[in-house]
Structure formats: C-alpha cells, structure tokens
Amino acid sequence: MIEQSAYPVEPWVVRETNFNLELLAQSESVFALSNGHIGMRGNLDEGEPHGIPGMYLNSFYENRPLPYAESAYGYPEIGQTVVNVTDGKLIRVLVNDEPLDVRYGELRSHERLLDFRAGTLTRSLDWVSPAGQRVRVRSRRMVSFVQRAVAAIEYIVEPVDAPARFVIQSELVANEELPRMKKDPRVSAILDNPLVGVENFQQDNGGILLHHTRSSGLSMAAGMDHVIDGHGRLEIDVDSREDWLRTTVVAHLRPGERLKIVKLLAYGWSSLRSRQSLRDQVAAALSSARYSGFEGLMQEQRAYLDDFWESADVEVEGDPEIQQAVRFGLFHVLQAGARAERRCIPAKGLTGPGYDGHTFWDTEGFVLPVLTYTQPSAAADVIRWRHSTLDLAKEHATALNLKGAAFPWRTIRGQECSGYWPAGTAAFHINADIADAVERYRLVTGDDSVDKAVGVELLVETARMWMSLGHHDPDGRWHVDGVTGPDEYSAIADDNVFTNLMAARNLISAAEACTRHPAIAQSLHVSLEEAAAWRDAAKDVHIPYDEKLNVHPQSEGYTRHQDFDFEGYQDKYPLLLSAPYFDLYRKQVIKQADLVLAMHWCGDYFSAADKARNVDYYERRTVRDSSLSACTQAVLAAEVGHLELAHDYAYEAALIDLRDLHHNSRDGLHMASLAGAWIALVAGFGGLRDYGGQLRFDPALPAGISRLSFSLRWRGARLRVAFDQHEVTYSLHEGDEGEIELRHDGEDVVVTAAEPVTRKLEQRVPLIKTPPQQPVGREPAQRHAGG
C-alpha cells in the first residue's frame, strides 16, 4: 500500500514531493494525461529511469493470436493489444556532456504536481551533476481537451552556480523497448516492434513520422514542432530515421539565463485514410497548436475544465482523503472519455497497458453513469461506438447459435478478444448493461437524438439475443440458463438474479422504444407479436428466492452450495491467482458484487427487508478480488443503514490507485473504481436513483463526513445537492432556467432557480443492527493509511 506521504492530501492536486524509484511505475499511472484520444503516461521528461514507457492512441492496436491446447468451434482466435505508439514526451538533456539522469549526481529537490483544474502536470527539479554542475529544470505538459490531436510540453533549463553548455535532444521515438510484464492475466501482452516505418519528414524545427501496424492494418502519424527561446547563440539541428525524429538545441548559458523549449505534438490514426491524409492532418494540428501558443492552449484547457467542474464537482467536508480522491477519479474519468469520440473507453483508460487496453462491461456499468450525469456528450459517443460494432456483435451471436447481437466480453475494435472461458463468453449480461446505458442516457439528458440514431437498434438487437437465450418452462416462468453474472467465481449458472432482472429491463426498454419510434421499429422488422413476446418474457422472468434463509440466491441453487474455505486462503488473495477455478465455481465465494449489484441497479424490485438480509448474507462471502466491488458495497451498505461500513468501502473505491490498494496500479488506473468513488458518494450517501426515469434522493452521512455536496446534469439543467447530518438543500445553478421534479425520501418536490428546496433528514437506523462481517482477510480498507 502506498503511504499517504507519497502523495500528500490536497483538495485539487496530487503532489509528489520526493522522487521514489520504487514507486516510479505507479506514479507514471497516477500522473498520466489524456483527452480520450491521446494518452501520455507520467514518465519523466528525460525518458529514464522509467517503469513502463507509454504513449497511446485510443483504439490503436495490434492483433495477436490467442493460443489453445485444443481448438474448438466458436473460440476467438485473434486478440487485440493496445500499442505503445510513437513517444513524443522525450526531452533528453546533456549538461557539459553529462546526461541529466536523476539516478546519478545529487538530486536536491524533485516535485511533480497534477492539477485537476488546470489539466496539467508540472515538474521541477534541482540537480547537481556528478561533476558538480548544478541546474534547475521546470516543465509543464498537457494533452488538450479542446484541440483533440494536440499535446504540448514546456521545458525550461537554467544553470545555478556556474556557466554550462546544454544540449537538448527533443525526440519522437517509435518501437521503444518495453519491460517484460509480470505473469498476471490482468496485464497486457508484450508486442515487440509493432510499428513498421513508412515515411519520415523533416521541417523547420521538427517533422512527422508515419507508421503502420503489421497485422491490424492501422496507420498512424506523429509530428512535433518547437518554439525555442534562449539567451545568446543557439544551434538547432533536425535529423530523422525510420523510427525516430530528433530536434537538437545547443546553448551556452550563464547563471540567471535560461533556455525555454515549447514542444508541440500532434497525433492521428486511421484504418482507411491514406498516409498523405494522415500527414496533412498532423501538420494542420501542429499549425493550429502553434497559432494558439502554449499559453493559449493552457487557457483553453482551464476554460474547458472550469465548465466541467461547475457541473461535476463533489465537495466532501470531514474526510480530506476522499475529497482529493473523488476529484482525482473524476478528472481521470473525464480524461478517459472526453474526446474518445465514437471509440471505446478502456478499463485502464489511456494510462497504461493493463488488460491489453480492452474495454469491458464496466464502461457501461460504472463509467457511463458518471459521464451521463456530468459530461453527457462523452457518454453519447461511447453509445455510438457500441453501435458501430453492432454488425460484429451480430456475427458473434450467430457463431453462438443466437439471434440478435451478442457483444464481446472484452475488446478494442468490437471483436471478442477473450479466450473462450465461462466467465467471459457466458457473461451475456453485457448486452443488458449496454441497453441500460442507452436508456439512462435518454432519461437523464432528455436527448432523443441518440435514441433515434442508434439507441433503438441497440435495444432491439440485444432484446432479440435475450429471447433466443431464455425460455419459458411448462409453468410459464421465463429462465436464462447457463450464464455468468458479474461474479466471475460463479460461472455457468441458471437464473442469475442480476442477469435476469437486467434482461427483463432490456426487453421492456426495447418494447417501449419501438412504441416511441414505430417507423424505426418497422425498418428493423419488429412486429407487434415480437414486442409483445418481449413484454411477456420480462413479466414472467424467474427470480429465485430461498424461503428458508429469507434471501435471494445469487442464482438458482446458490445458497445450497458448499461454503468456501476462507481461513485457508486468507493470505492468498486474489483467488484467481491461487485457487482452481473449478473450486471457486462450485462454492459460495464471490469475486465481486453480483446480487448486491442487482439491488443497486434494480433496487425497485427488492423490499427494504430483502436488501438488509441480502447485504448481511453476501457481505460474508464477497472477497472483492475485483476493483468493481467496493463502490457497490458502499451504496448498499449506506442504503441499509451501515453508514460506517459504507464509508470504509467509499474510501477503498476512491483510493484504489492513490494508495495502490490492489497492487497493480503500475499497469494503469482502474477507471471503473475511480468512477465508483463518485457512485459511492452520490448514489451511496446521496441516495441517487433514477428508476423509471424519475430522479430520486435519500441522503444520509456517516459520522466521518460532516457535509457533502455535489452537482449533476438533469435534462439540460444543473442540480446541486448539499446536505449535512441534519438537512438537505436542492437548488439549481445560477442562470439555469426551468425546473427539476425529483423525489426526496418518498416525497415529490419541484426545484427551480428561484425556489430551492430544503428538507430535514432523519437518522438512518439499520434493520439489522450488527454490521455484517467480511471473509477473513478481506475487511475493507480503512479510512486512514495503515489503519
């Protein structure tokens, strides 16, 4: 666990005050910059030392074979892995012929700062070379939210005590040598030299490199330009080869003089456009960046983020760690999706190579709810991306002998990239998760355009898949057999409650969409009989219930399974790396919230008493070997009255990367858990629900948080919710017109800009007084480092 001292607690920044070689890879993930199109790991400017070098373009990948001991029908044969593209971060420095390398000489000070409001990473260092030459370096870097193809770095050097000669080598480098990753199925495969050089161009103070992948058929261009300002005579030289482009600047500086280099970067890629088109696109982006200038780019960045935080910020009083962490999470979730523009949002965003750069169901399940309420245009783009892969999903369904569309468990481009295994291929609930994101976007934003353009078709084709997968029994109950729910330790189960409830919701949403848009339904050949069959299946869906225990089995028969030996595995988590899957599949051990997730997403199905008993039962069996679990457990713990337990889980979700709680942040950040920090606070303590398109709140706070306030977007207006232990106030942001109808703790209220609504809060009393226990060794992370 990373101690708090590594990144001191501050409300709007993450600051690293000392250079720690042992935390280098983790810091590279924490300090990553992105706009959803370009991703830049927080590597040192000079390139070395490094943990994992990384520069990424969203959905730029290479194919790789998926090996099997024995092949079989339906097995995916080709995987996809994100490519470390041409690295434009590198600015190497020689001081009187000695490389600036913080591992040598004396590092008197070193600080880096990620600023959530400015959208920048700044760095300052004071270094003495082995020969005794003292220099100072300051840098600022950013990836532009406004100019999608552009990133920029300002790099300033100056001697301190004596004159010095500086040689600055600013580079573009393709096919960097990457470290070998540990043997863990959660991290990426290594691809050696994935880029093939096509052309290189030199011009003025920079140039452009063009490459293509060997197998996936993608082409990319990377370009750089420089604005150079320094004292005295400057020698500037540009050189290029197939895999690198270098601009060299030589200057002799005296104390008090400095050399400033502004490095402008631009990237583009395509599977269709010519290399001339890519070259011209990058050249144009560089010209636009030069026109704006570094300070102009900074002003654009700040204005963009000011608008975002105005409608997305969460203020936490009483817990400064969670305050910092939830803003850190929101900033990185925004970075992952802001300019993705009809491409996927990977599980690690563009912060590292973990999970091969794939997207999973957690994009729609955890990231999109946050973006829908805070940056809805980004959520709409992801929905459009899913629709762009619909034909591939239909092909996948056909291969599985199903109708409609079966979306892949993990992918970059849209093809299934998970080797055939029950916890992947059988996790059909991803279809319903996508449908849920479609429906939530429409209900939250009031925007019907996405529904018409792509939403109806997504709902229809996912509904068709459910109808071919499920069936009615002789008693008229509708079942979905042989599937894997969110708990990947319980594979190939019958009537998984989460899956069945979400499938029923998917079927109803599809039927209602066809009623709203009859012309679109007709174009998709949806008959009245087909839509009626969807409604009948949803009405008849079977939801198991254990009458003896008075709890819902996670799936049919689950509660009669053998108990798991938690004592024997208490120091062997995560279990996927230490226990046979066969043993996990047949016993009562839960990787991540499943039935509990159903009670969050489909909470209107369950009674308050059911929720309390289910939380008590499943809390004791959930080991949280996935980063997706803590935020959901926080939400339900808060709802059933275990507010202190909810606080612990909110901490775990929020601090997962700042404290490296899962010990794999070096490979990239956990986007779903970072989104989960918002979910834990807003849906957990704020009680946000949107069942049936109605906005609902039921606030309650743990003792450790004295006040909580947050903003969100609802149908064009910006609602602010602020509450302490005693009362809550709902108000619209200044300048917003219209009104918002919402339900507070069962009461319908109307909020306008002129008339905020304030209500008293009652103390929440749990139905089951004693907080539930967790499996031995899996108690939630405490709210204090080392606690």
Could you tell me how many residues make up the chain? Answer: 787
Closest of 481, 503, 477 to residue 492, by C-alpha: 481
At 646, give phi and psi (nearest 5°).
Answer: -60, -40
- The one catalytic residue in 488, 530, 556, 619 is 488
Tell me which amino acid residue 138 is. Answer: R
Catalogue the E-assigned strands of 689-746: 695-697, 707-714, 717-724, 727-732, 739-744
Concatenated DSSP letters for 332-401? HHHHHHTT--SS---TTTTS--GGGG-B-THIIIIIHHHHHHH-HHHHHHHHHHHHHTHHHHHHHHHHTT
Q: At what angle do helices 528-540 and 456-469 cross, to 10 degrees?
A: 60
Q: How deeply is 439 buried, as exposed, middle or buried, from its count of CB atoms within 10 A (0-12, 13-18, 19+)?
A: buried
- List the Cα angle 678/683/685 in 5-degree steps: 95
- For CA atoms 51, 53, 59, 63, the dihedral sign is negative
The two three-digit tokens of residue 665, written as one number: 């942040």
Give the helix/strand (H/E) hosting 110.
Answer: strand 106-115
3-state secondary structure 400-419: CCCCCCCCCCCECCCCCCCC
Question: Which strands form 739-744's sheet, in the order they lie side by side?
Answer: 695-697, 739-744, 747-752
Q: How far is the C-alpha of 524 from the C-alpha of 689, rounded, in Å? A: 32
Please say if 488 is a catalytic residue.
yes
Contact 35, 144 (CB under 8 A): yes
Closest of 626, 638, 615 to residue 772, by C-alpha: 615
For the chain, the first-to-last Cα distance in angstroms comes to 11
Report the catalytic residues.
488
